[in-house]
A = this chain, B = another copy of it.
Amino acid sequence: MKIELEAIAFVKNSRKELIDDNWSSIESEIELTENIFTEAFEGIENFSHLVIIFFMNKVKDEKAIAQYRHPRNNESLPKLGTYAQRNKNRPNKLGLTTVELLERNARILKVKNLDAIDGTPILDIKPVMKQFEPKGEIKQPEWTNEILKNYWKTK
């Protein structure tokens, strides 16, 4: 079964290349595509955070497959499957991030903490509601802290 989707918006920011870390330095604009009317954003300005689902179109097709490897190829970390990681080389090339909404201006959102490069197509935007936050305590393995230590750090 093939599933066909279309961009509803695009990312504009200063990061033109695939770099792994220091995403909090980047502010981004999200602009609706021509086929989506402006009213689609009506009321979004009353939320502090949004979840963005985007298509990482710069990932090469031959890397967009299920994997079993050391995160960031660091052999001191355990070997892991695709779905125990959040790295970009994965089937369907979907990215997913919670951002802070700084400003809405008609068809354009200004956001912080979007880890997508300039020109990335966006497939969906959902407002963050506490009712959809994780229920109960979050547990995660220690290696996640190691690989994410510079992820959001400003340069």
Which residues from chain A sit less than 8 Å from chain B, CB to CB?
1-8, 36-37, 39-44, 46-51, 53, 55, 57, 66-68, 78-86, 90-92, 94, 96-98, 100, 113, 121, 123-141, 144-145, 148, 151-152
Contact = CB atoms under 8 A, between A and B. Distances in A.
A142 to B, nearest CB: 9
16 contacts: A1-B6, A3-B5, A3-B57, A3-B121, A4-B4, A8-B66, A42-B68, A46-B84, A47-B139, A48-B137, A48-B139, A49-B134, A51-B96, A85-B127, A96-B96, A131-B151
A69 to B, nearest CB: 9
B6 A4 contact: no
A125 B92 CA distance: 11
Contacts of A55: 3
A6, A127, A151: which has the most chain B beta carbons within 10 Å? A127
A66 B92 contact: no
Given A5-B3, A94-B123, A134-B49, A86 B144 contact: no
Given A96-B96, A131-B148, 16 more contacts: A3-B4, A5-B94, A6-B91, A8-B66, A40-B67, A43-B78, A48-B137, A49-B138, A83-B126, A100-B135, A113-B135, A128-B134, A129-B138, A131-B151, A131-B152, A133-B138
Contact of A66 (B40, B94, B97, B127): B40
Contacts of A43: 78-81, 84-85, 141
